[in-house]
Structure 1
Amino acid sequence: MKKRLLAPVAIVSVALILSACTTNPYTGESQAGKSGYGAGIGAALGAGIGLLSSSKHDRGKGALIGAAAGAALGGGAGYYMDVQEAKLREKMSGTGVSVTRQGENIVLNMPNNVTFDTNSSNLKPAGANTLTGVAMVLKEYDKTAVNVTGYTDSTGARAHNIVLSQQRADNVASALIVQGVAANRIRTYGAGPDNPVASNSTAAGKAQNRRVEITLSPL
């Protein structure tokens, strides 16, 4: 009897997970969206809770109701971030800013050649224009926290690099606020030379390490 009850739930869960697979418009490869996985897992967990909490005669109904509720909860934040990610990819196309997904978080990597001159915290015009596009998406999807982290390469004194990276993060945050992003959503950090993404032994590696990252997380 339990097998009969759980079969429809299993079908729904698998369908939701499969629906998460989309084609990356930049690589042409299949990739997994987060919302379908969350919805599928939520459906399975919700079905189990519904099955256990229902009377013997209502277990089928309880399992399906639980599956529906679980799918909604499991897919909600993931879907919200999926759509926001797609919008950001569209806005950032051709700007030199990369958009990557880390779990439920979205990370924008703004390289130094887009945003700031060497040893400067003044935003370049290209960087300001790029942040206008970012701000448009952030205002539309306002249920996300915005963490802005500035980084430098390892050249020079660490204390100077920490201050410089903080100033850059603050100026990026200020540009977003001027464009209408709520200040209470934004936090800034100056990480200096920490967490390099490339070797500091080459000029190319140092250029990659000089960056500002904007990490978006669901509230």
Structure 2
Amino acid sequence: MCVKRSSFLAGGLIATMLVSGCQVTNPYTNESQNAKATNGALIGAIAGAAIGVASSSKNDRGKGALIGAASGAALGGGIGYYMDVQEAELRKLLQSSGVSVTRSGDNIILNMPNDVTFGVDQTDLSQRAQQVLNSVVLVALEYDETKLNVMGYTDSSGAESYNLRLSQVRASEVANYLTNHKVPAQRVASHGMGESKPIASNQTKQGRAENRRVEIILSPMPNA
């Protein structure tokens, strides 16, 4: 009974906060939010807060309510809103990391250049890369309706077959780091793309450096 009462109280508190703070504006993007998405976010927040309270220990119920409300609000607001909040968190966590965060529709693309991830011709993740991936893990665990596709790319130097294999190994290293840190394996996939899809000219040193990269594409899962 006490848990149930706490759930409703926490849900009511979160709902009040959301009504006053984001009734017409998405607080994560500062863009106008339609009423349907806002109402969905409110419903999701209440449900998420209740679940968060019910599934937390007595001393952690307040924290559980806030976490549940955040993810519940995002999911309740629709797929676009759900990805908005993840994008905002990733931008905050990855600021000054050297990793770019871009948006393409409902997909969030993290571009990890090679100077962040691997040494020249190496397949061991750098300490810097691990710090970046720790931030990605935090967001992935909070928003569990998102798929993470890891794509490895190289420049065109050397044999094409070697580059393809190198890109596959590097993508796998990143994916394994995510799953080894509790992101469910069914949510993570890795692909080696080799020399394909360059984003700069392979005729210059700078261009080749840009093409050597790992991208993590976060997409809503089909049932999200």
TM over 0.5: yes
Structure 2 Cα separation of the partners of residues 164 and 85 of structure 1: 29
Residues 21 and 180 (structure 1), Cα distance of their counterparts in 2 relative to 1, 3 Å cut: closer
Q: Is the 8 A contact 1:112 1:212 kept in 2?
A: yes
Contact 2:28 2:84 in 1 (8 A): no
What secondary structure, in the 3-state scheme, does the structure 2 residue paired with 1:81 have?
helix
- Give the direction of change, closer, same or farther, for the CA distance of 1:215–1:83 in structure 2 (3 Å limit): same
> Corresponding residue for 1:83?
85
Q: Runs (4+) of structure 1 moved beyond 4 Å?
A: 20-23, 35-40, 72-75
Q: Does 1:114 align with 2:110?
A: no
Q: 1:113-137 deviations in whole A, cap 9, x for unaligned? A: 0000111111111111111111111
Cα shift readout 1:46-82 (whole Å, capped 9, x = no counterpart): xxxxxxxxxxxxxxxxxxxxxxxxxx99951111100
Which residue in 2 is equivalent to 1:211?
213
Find out whether 1:138 has 2:140 as its counterpart.
yes
**Which runs of 5 or more residues in structure 1 are unaligned?**
1-15, 24-30, 41-71
| DSSP-derived class of the 1:195 partner | coil
Give the root-mean-square deviation of aligned CA atoms: 2.7
Give the conservation status (yes or no) of the 8 Å contact 1:39–1:73: no
1:166 aligned to which of 162, 165, 168: 168
Equivalenced residue count is 165
Q: Are 2:37 and 2:76, in contact at CA under 8 Å, matched by a contact in 1?
A: yes
Aligned pair partner of 2:178 in 171, 176, 179: 176
Question: Which digits, 9 at most, give the CA deviation of each residue in 1:134-181, with x for residues without a partner?
Answer: 111111011001100000000000100000000000000111111111
Looking at structure 1, the residues matched to 82 and 27 of structure 2 have their Cα atoms a distance apart, in angstroms, of 16
Shift of 1:19: 3.8
Q: Is the 8 A contact 1:151 1:191 kept in 2?
A: yes
Matched, 1:96 2:98: yes
Matched, 1:128 2:157: no
Quote the sequence identity (%).
50
CA distance in 2, matches of 1:194, 1:32: 36
Equivalent residues of 1:97, 1:109 under 8 A apart: yes
Residue 93 of structure 1 deviates from its aligned partner by 0.6
Distance 1:38 1:206 in 2: 46
TM-score (norm 1): 0.68
